[in-house]
Amino acid sequence: MRVVGTISLAVACGLLTASPSWAGEGSWISGDWYLTLGATGLIAPNFEGGKRYMLSASPIVSLGKAGPAARFTSRNDNISLALIDDGGIRAGLTGKFLFTRDSKDELKGLDPVRWGGEAGGFFEFYPLDWLRMRAELRHGIRAHNGFVGDIAADAFYDVTPQVRISGGPRVSFASANYFDAYYGVDAKEAAASGLSEYHPGGGLKSVGLGGAITWKVTDPMTASLFGEYSRLMGPAADSSLVRERGNRDQFMFGVSTTYRFDFTM
């Protein structure tokens, strides 16, 4: 079983830089906040672009200032700290932690990808009452030195007050530095791995669809069943790692549960 995780780098930085004056009466940091904790168990490829599947687990951690109740949230959202939130538009900081990608099995001979993270911003809005659009742009830290952009649209419908179904398309883009870290094969790696040498540029990374069934167990507790499909495109699909040892078609299935804690600063 592999353990992977996603946490908010932006939130951590914000908390570390908060001074007592920020927390004074009338400051931005004072007021009602929430902390959401949970976990996800899923079956997914053993690496991005891989063709073997394995069981994985990841924590869910989200910290934010309470505002108008969010009409919709998705497990695909990276952990975010909203700086603007009026119920119809949300924007702010987002980030995630990336664990090491080891050089073993199909990856033997390739340089491992170091642990690190991505930090950036997000923007989301509702063109219709039942449709949410969200975009994220993040820059790599340590693991890679590139940019990654994600765009998603999710239609949602409440079957009952406790049960919601949702789903929609996803598109991802990335820069050459990102693709080089995860899909590139230089001359030394080609000799050690047996893969063809490959030097990618930037562009479209993947397109796909995702859906979920979410159950509101109690007011602070939720559980969900989800599925995702993505097809690698552009520099990712052209990589010798994917063409010779992997698969462009990537599937993911899993369950998750979260619990929200409310508090005042």
At 1-49, the pLDDT tens digits run 444 444 444 344 443 333 344 445 566 678 888 888 889 999 999 999 9
Q: How many C-beta atoms surround the C-beta of residue 185 within 10 A?
A: 25
Sort residue 87 into left (φ over 0), alpha (ψ -120 to 50) or beta. left
Residues 255, 109: Cα–Cα separation, whole Å? 34
First to last CA, the chain: 38
Model confidence at 201: pLDDT above 50: yes
Residues 206, 238: Cα–Cα separation, whole Å? 12
Please choose, from the candidates 41, 138, 38, the residue with its C-alpha nearest in 3D space to the C-alpha of residue 98. 138
Question: What are the distances in angstroms from CA 164 to CA 69, 130, 157, 188?
Answer: 16, 11, 6, 50
In 106-249, alpha helices (H) = 176-183, 187-193, 234-238, 240-245
Q: What is the pLDDT of residue 68?
A: 64
Model confidence at 199: pLDDT above 80: yes
Name the DSSP letter for residue 177: H
Domains of the chain: 2-264 (2.40.230)
The predicted-structure confidence for 141-156, as pLDDT tens digits, reads as follows: 999 999 999 999 999 9
Residues 117, 145: Cα–Cα separation, whole Å? 10
Residues 159, 40: Cα–Cα separation, whole Å? 23
Residues 79, 61: Cα–Cα separation, whole Å? 7
- Give the DSSP H or E segment for 12: helix 9-17
Burial class, 83, CB count within 10 angstroms (exposed 0-12 / middle 13-18 / buried 19+): middle
160's CB contacts (< 8 A; 6+ apart) are none
The predicted-structure confidence for 93-132, as pLDDT tens digits, reads as follows: 999 889 899 888 889 999 999 999 999 999 999 999 999 9
Q: What is the pLDDT of residue 45?
A: 94
